[in-house]
Structure 1
């Protein structure tokens, strides 16, 4: 049951049809009270519009503005709830049995409307592909690391490597625990994707992409695989390049979904040291990974994109490339005062020093860094950040590629498309594309 696909039309369309049927039955039963029904529908739709505006635009409860899908479905759900109220209050028909039947259907319409609206909004965002994802459970099994037949041998250069006849046709991914030996950061399990070229004997030394999810309800490394469909996208990239692709490591930079250490070292956790020290150490100990900064990229979506900007600007010695998809302009919690108080021990100077545009200006010129900066065309909150980041990075000497995803909002459709394109961009930069 937990594997039920929540984004599938085969699941959603029957639910929508059942909800519509329940609403039609209630409206048919209360046709003598059609004025009340009409008033309930109009008032419900207006309440939904106000609720969407207040929660999404005024209180900003999710950190992103509602999409038109969110707004429409909020209005539809509230209108359906209005119909349910009329059915419960007015009943239907003169017979007692008819009234009770109408009230039962009206009562069922309430959860059906809420479930239909919730799943429609979820499909628009692409956040929870299954019930297990919504419950915070991951389907990602432990990673089976490839055997190293000759650990003392010299690394194989990817440029001269040729795929063997028995190379797998797909990559392999799974969860691993990367301890916070230096940072003492209590990260949840990471996910690692290995391209086919990494799964054979005498595997070549491959570039690495450290890829981060966003922050918010249900946020976890598994979002990248499940909501972003990254394993499928990466397999397609590898197949176009004879099995070659970067190793993609998806660590947890949050510790828990509701936490936001902002990829700095502070009272909310030493996330920066975890990503720049503990994660690379684990990668070098367990995988055939390149060592130079030019062969390492930091990537992410939303809060993860902000982290990519921060660490790409602040640690060019570790990450020579960064892929920022729909990130913010800098680390932030609720507002500036809250960020300084909870994230920087009340030290406004430390907060200022952590702002990536300032870091870029002070670290210029960046002679060997490159960036891929992207957002959805319909992302009204974080889309306008892109030109500011692009301008600051170029002024600092960073070679920047800008990408706007058509018909994309602040969602996993945009994230999946742009992160995969960012990986291909990085492959060209590291001469891995054939």
Structure 2
């Protein structure tokens, strides 16, 4: 079967890239190819072969390690330093490629064929290993951008037609106690894409993804709370759903609460090229107005949602976590809670100089005003704002960031909860568990019942 529009077999598009039965054969093949290439060619004497192998492998390993350092540490291309797994695999793959070159030069025709196959095997094994460490791409379809989530069919209901914060305070808390599980309640929520136009911001956003819980899919469905979740960078709304396992998390929470869960909207704060406007309005795009204006207005006019600010939360991973902290602290009249998973201390690009030049039109003052520390100083102390911080326990850099931002939040009057994901770094394992624990933590504030157990 070929997936419509992609030209790729459906089975290939949905191949689980992190499953043992997929990665293990590739690792075995790469190992066999490596052993074959290490065997001495007949026309090369042993005293010459092994020194040559040692030299080219050492040079290759050094080149791979330096490349990982330069791209990941110096250029900060991914917003996080490479892990030791990344560095070792980068060095190992390039070392293997060095041995490939040696075989191409000194080997006969058959050995050269093996060397050519080894190029594919080594690169594929390294890519799978690094991807498994980061938890980034679940399927080839996600990697190639060809996986498709269907358009959302929104049940007929009376939307709230209001923006968050327009209802009087103190109206939240009765939904869970008044809710009675109706007959015919679906066993899972509904996921789909929607287009949220940038009417006010003129921001060119990719399609958003919306999750409707089972409680939203029954006749006379109640108005439900809202959570806006944002991806990291580079990523997309689809990454939150696939790599972040969002539907599974929300369905599990809903199952424990009689079908009750928030409506979750995952918009695109980055733009079509997965750029980083840093969640401000500036030369890179009016990302702030898009999220705070266009997205919230669309939610209020298209979905059956609660209106009190305590029923609205925002969260995100990495760059998205930074955005969530910016938006929630700058607009406590809109959001009553936030979830910051492995966020930065402030919005930036590869370096602060580049961020000021590209994103703030050269204005250092504007750059400083966008920092959450400055926002909290300007808008605090806060009377009723809850923040959930999560970080990978093995992620030293972002653990420091989280400690700093937690302390600043507490000093500004924000009620804070923090969670460290065991044996995880700056990856989608952390994002998955951070979202799960964060959503469970805000259940009482959203009026959905007591704090939900996550099973982690």
TM-score > 0.5, shorter chain as reference = yes
Q: 1:11 Cα deviation (Å)?
A: 1.6
Q: 2:89 matched to which residue of 1? A: 73
Name the Cα RMSD after superposition.
Answer: 2.0
Question: Aligned ranges for residues 161-310 of structure 1 at < 5 Å?
Answer: 161-216=179-234, 219-310=235-326
Higher mean C-alpha displacement, 166-175 vs 27-36: 27-36
Correspondence for 2:125: 116
Residue of 374, 378, 381 corresponding to 1:358:
374
Structure 1 pair 339–59 and aligned structure 2 pair: CA distance change class (3 A): closer
2: distance between equivalents of 1:279 and 1:150? 15
* Distance in 1 separating the partners of 2:83 and 2:239: 20
How many angstroms does 1:29 deviate by? 4.4
Q: Is the contact made by 2:159 and 2:304 (CA closer than 8 Å) also made in structure 1?
A: no
Q: Is the 8 A contact 1:215 1:257 kept in 2?
A: no
SS in 1 for 2:398: coil
CA deviations over 1:6-27 (Å, ceiling 9, x no partner): 2222221111111111111222
* Residues 115-161 of structure 1: CA deviation (Å, up to 9, x unaligned): 11012111111111111211123321111111228999xx9962312
Q: Is the 8 A contact 2:159 2:302 kept in 1?
A: no
Deviates most, 351-360 or 384-393: 351-360
Alpha-carbon shift at residue 348 of structure 1 (Å): 2.3
Q: CA deviation at 1:199?
A: 0.6
Map Cα deviations across residues 149-194 of structure 1 (whole Å, 9 max, x no partner): 8999xx9962312111100011111100111122221211000001
Matched, 1:25 2:31: no
Does the 8 Å contact 2:90/2:126 carry over to 1? Answer: yes
1:147 to 141, 145, 156: 156
1:173 and 1:105 map into 2 onto residues whose CA distance is: 46
> Aligned in 2, Cα 1:55/1:350: closer, same or farther, shift over 3 Å?
closer
Partner of 1:158: 175
Separation in structure 2 between the aligned mates of residue 187 and residue 102 of structure 1, nearest angstrom: 50
Q: Deviations over 1:387-417 (max 9, x none)?
A: 1111111111000111111111111000010
User: In structure 2, what is the Cα distance between the partners aligned to 1:109 and 1:261?
Assistant: 40
Q: Measure the CA separation in 2 of the matches of 1:55 and 1:351.
A: 25
Equivalent residues, number:
423
- Measured in 2, the distance between the counterparts of 1:248 and 1:227 equals 16
CA contact 1:361–1:392 (8 Å) conserved in 2: no
Structure 1 residues without counterparts, runs of 5 or longer: 92-98
SS of the residue 1:375 aligns to: strand
Aligned residue for 1:300, secondary structure, equals: strand
1:149 and 1:201 in contact (8 A); partners too: no
1:379 aligns with 2:398: no
